[in-house]
Amino acid sequence: AGGGAGGGSAGGAAGGGAAGGAAGGGAGGGSVLNCASITGDRATQVCARWKCDRMDMTEGTWSGALDPTCNPGDMTATARNNSLRLINLYRFLANLPAVTLDATRSSKAQACALMMDANNALSHTPPTTWKCYSAAGAEAAGKSNICSGRAVGCIDLYMSDTGNDTTIGHRRWFLSNSLGPIGIGGTPGGSCHWVIGGTGAAGAQYTAFPPSGPVPLQSIAIPGVPSVDVVGWTVQSDALNLTNATATVKENGVSKPVVTTTLGQGYGSTYAIKFVPQGWTTQAGKTYAVTVSGGSLTAAINYTVQPLACP
C-alpha cells in the first residue's frame, strides 16, 4: 500500500477532540449482553460490537508533564486499549482484520502527543524550535493521525474526518489494508496514532464506509461529531483504480442524489473516492444499493448498505 502523501504525512490534522463518556449498560429489552462471547447473525453481531466496544470510553490519566519539564510520561493502559478497541470496532464493521499495538511506536507516539499539547498546535513536520521537541516525537508526527483531543475521543473524529475534504485521510488510514501494528500516545491536550508503515496484509479489493451489509446507523451518524453523510461516504482500494469513477445510490430502489469526488492518492490507500448525499440522510431500516463505475475502473463495484437502529 502507498505511504502517506506529503512527505509521509497522514493527512490534515483532525480538529476538536471531544472525549466520549462511558456508554450505557446491557442491551435493551431485558436481555443480558455477553460481550465476551458475541454470537448470532451479522446484524446481531454488529449491534453487539457497537455497544460492547463503546462501553468503556474513559481517557484515563497522564503521568507526564508539559514545558519546562517536558516529560512525555504515558497514558494509562486502559485508555490506550480503549482507543485501540474503537479502531478495531470500525475495522470490524468494514470487514477488516483487527490490528495490534507496537510498544516502540506507542512510545514515540507518546512523545508526539506531548509536543502537540505543549505547543497547542498540530503539525506533521514540527520544527526543532517547538517546546518539548524530540526526534522520536517528530518521527511519530510524520507517521501519525494527530489530534488536539484525547486518544479515545479522537477516533470518532477521525472516522467522521470533517475538514479533510480532499483526502478523508484519517478514515482511510484506519481502514487501510496495510494498517498495523500501530502506536497510540496521548495527553490531555493531544494524541497521536501511528498509522504509516504498517505490515498489515488485509488484501481487501476495496473497502467502503459505510460498509456493505448490516451496519449500526450510529456509525454513520456518529454521536458528537459531523455525520458521515455530511463529510462523505468513501470507497478506497489499492487494487482498483477509482480515479474519476462515479457513485450512484438507490434507497429502496429509488435513486438518491450524490456528488462524487476523486480523493488524493496515498492516504491509507492508493485510490479513493467520496460521495456526499445531497438533501437526504441515511435512515435505519432502508437499504442503500451503491454502484461505483466509470473513470479508470474496468468493472463496476456493487454493494448494499443496511443501516440498523441498534438498541
Cα dihedral: 122, 110, 267, 196 (round 10): 150
Distance of alpha carbon 90 from alpha carbon 96, whole angstroms: 9
Exposed, middle or buried by CB within 10 Å (0-12, 13-18, 19+), for 104?
exposed
Question: For residue 48, what is its C-alpha cell?
Answer: 453487539
Which residues are within 8 A (CB) of 254 and not within 5 positions of it... i.e. 6 or more apart? none
Question: For residue 19, what is its C-alpha cell?
Answer: 472525549
pTM over 0.75: yes
Q: What is the pLDDT of residue 32?
A: 81
pLDDT along the chain (311 residues), means of 10: 32 35 36 90 98 98 96 98 99 99 99 98 98 99 98 98 97 99 99 98 98 99 97 99 99 99 98 99 99 98 99 92
Q: What is the pLDDT of residue 268?
A: 98
Q: What is the pLDDT of residue 142?
A: 98
- Mode of pairing for the β-strands spanning 301-308 and 207-209: unpaired
Which of the 8 DSSP states describes residue 263? P
Domains of the chain are 5-194 (3.40.33), 207-308 (2.60.40.1220)
DSSP result, 158-220: HHH-TT-TTT-HHHHHHT-TT--SBEEEEETTEEEEE-TT-------S-EEESPSEEEEGGGT
Q: What is the pLDDT of residue 12?
A: 38
Q: What is the pLDDT of residue 22?
A: 30
